[in-house]
Amino acid sequence: MTRPASSKVRRVSSLGAGPIGAGWAAHFLARGYDVTAYLHSMDEERAFRKVLDTAWISLRALGLAPEASRDRLKLTDNLRDAVSEAEFVQESAPERLEIKQDLYRVLGEIVPADVVIASSTSGLTMTDIQAKCPTPDRTVVAHPFNPPYLLPLVELVGGRRTSAETVEWARDFYACAGKAPLVMKKEIPGFVATRLQEALWREALHMVANGEATPADIDTALINGPAPRMAVQGQCMAFHVACGEGGMATNLDQFGPALKLPWTRLQAPELTKELRDRMVDGCNAEAAGRHFEEMAAERDRAIVGILKAVADARRPRDP
């Protein structure tokens, strides 16, 4: 079997019943693919379908592909059946190295030859994951941002034994599937987006630990400050544009010395019980008794609105 062209793939296997695995399945269904989802046990079907129900509301609001249908979903707890006709495999198994390695040892034997196998891992390297795989050249990390059915980013990086052609094929496939692929220069802990997110998270924990802000204060600052701007400009371009004609050169020349000021505390704070309780209590207060599903639905509605607004703002206008 030769590898199908990335634009010709129609049959996808999604492995995993959690929010990421089910979220990926929802995304691919919405784009018109036939999806076979592997569940470790059919007892997970109810939770899987609840994620799909939630996702479908937002996906319908964004606009489904003409061929999109939930009837194109097949569920199975038989791994071999799940991948037997796959033209692409998205793996979202638990984040434990021994589980991933054993799974890839099996997948390397039973997935049709030359079909790309992509991992949703957020913390493991493909070099480690592919250690026991008999066909490691076709394995690649494809790290999504949650929820994967809404946020376009997918960060791609191969392992030591991944072929360059596999990474290129995966990039083209995800672009065809409506994602925004970012090919990493090398394997690094946390990829790009997660490292940036973790920097914010460390600062938030420090401010809560030192009594400088509550979780609600921090979220208010982000939601009403940099977050809307980041939807259209990343951190680098925001600073470039903010300094007028001088751009980033003015920014660094004028504000560079301030980088040495002791605003930030780069190392993570000690996660004491007191800090843990402050974070938990603060977030519970901010949630104000709302259930997770209610908050997730509210989040998704807002993201849909943002994605639509950004797409509209970027649409070419007649002169």
Q: 10-51: per-residue pLDDT in tens?
A: 999 999 999 999 999 999 999 999 999 999 999 999 999 999
Determine whether 153 is exposed, middle or buried from the number of CB atoms within 10 Å of its CB (0-12, 13-18, 19+): middle
Residue 260, domain member (yes or no): yes
Strand 180-183's sheet: what is its strand order?
73-76, 34-38, 11-15, 88-91, 117-119, 139-144, 153-158, 180-183
Of 237 and 102, the structure prediction assigns the larger pLDDT to: 102
Residue 307, domain member (yes or no): no
In this structure, are 200 and 139 located in the same domain?
A: no
Q: How confident is the model at residue 264 (pLDDT cuts 50, 70, 90)?
A: low
Give me the mean pLDDT over the 210-214 stretch.
93
> What is the full DSSP assignment across 284-317?
HHHHTT--HHHHHHHHHHHHHHHHHHHHHHHS--
In this structure, are 168 and 105 located in the same domain?
A: yes
- Domain boundary residue among 183, 205, 237? 183
In this structure, are 151 and 21 located in the same domain?
A: yes
The number of domains in the chain is 2
What value, to the nearest 5°, has the Cα angle with vertex 194 and ends 237 and 247? 10
Residue 198, domain member (yes or no): yes
In this structure, are 12 and 141 located in the same domain?
A: yes
The string of pLDDT tens digits covering residues 123-161 is: 899 999 999 999 999 999 999 999 999 999 999 999 999
Residue 302, domain member (yes or no): no
Beta bridge partner(s), residue 122: none
What span, in angstroms and rounded, lies between the C-alpha atoms of 127 and 188?
11
- The DSSP 8-state label assigned to residue 146 in this structure reads S
Full residue range of the structural domain in which residue 283 is found: 193-288
Cα–chain-centroid distance for residue 45?
22
Residue 117, domain member (yes or no): yes
- The DSSP 8-state label assigned to residue 34 in this structure reads E
What span, in angstroms and rounded, lies between the C-alpha atoms of 108 and 205?
41
- The DSSP 8-state label assigned to residue 113 in this structure reads T
Beta bridge partner(s), residue 117: 89, 139
In this structure, are 53 and 29 located in the same domain?
A: yes
Residue 296, domain member (yes or no): no
Q: Which residues contact 71 (CB under 8 A, 6 or more apart)?
A: none
Q: What is the CATH number of the domain that holds 128?
A: 3.40.50.720
In this structure, are 179 and 102 located in the same domain?
A: yes
Q: How confident is the model at residue 71 (pLDDT cuts 50, 70, 90)?
A: very high
- Domain boundary residue among 161, 183, 205? 183
- The DSSP 8-state label assigned to residue 269 in this structure reads P
Contact 79, 44 (CB under 8 A): no
In this structure, are 14 and 137 located in the same domain?
A: yes
Question: Residue 205: pLDDT above 80?
Answer: yes
In this structure, are 80 and 168 located in the same domain?
A: yes
Tokens representing 112 are 């049709």
Give me the mean pLDDT over the 82-86 stretch.
97
Q: pTM for the complete prediction? A: 0.84
Residue 169, domain member (yes or no): yes
Residue 49, domain member (yes or no): yes
Q: What is the CATH number of the domain that holds 252?
A: 1.10.1040.10
Question: Residue 163: pLDDT above 80?
Answer: yes
What span, in angstroms and rounded, lies between the C-alpha atoms of 267 and 89?
37
In this structure, are 33 and 124 located in the same domain?
A: yes
- Domain boundary residue among 153, 183, 213? 183
In this structure, are 97 and 239 located in the same domain?
A: no
In this structure, are 274 and 203 located in the same domain?
A: yes
In this structure, are 257 and 173 located in the same domain?
A: no
Terminal Cα distance for the chain, rounded = 50
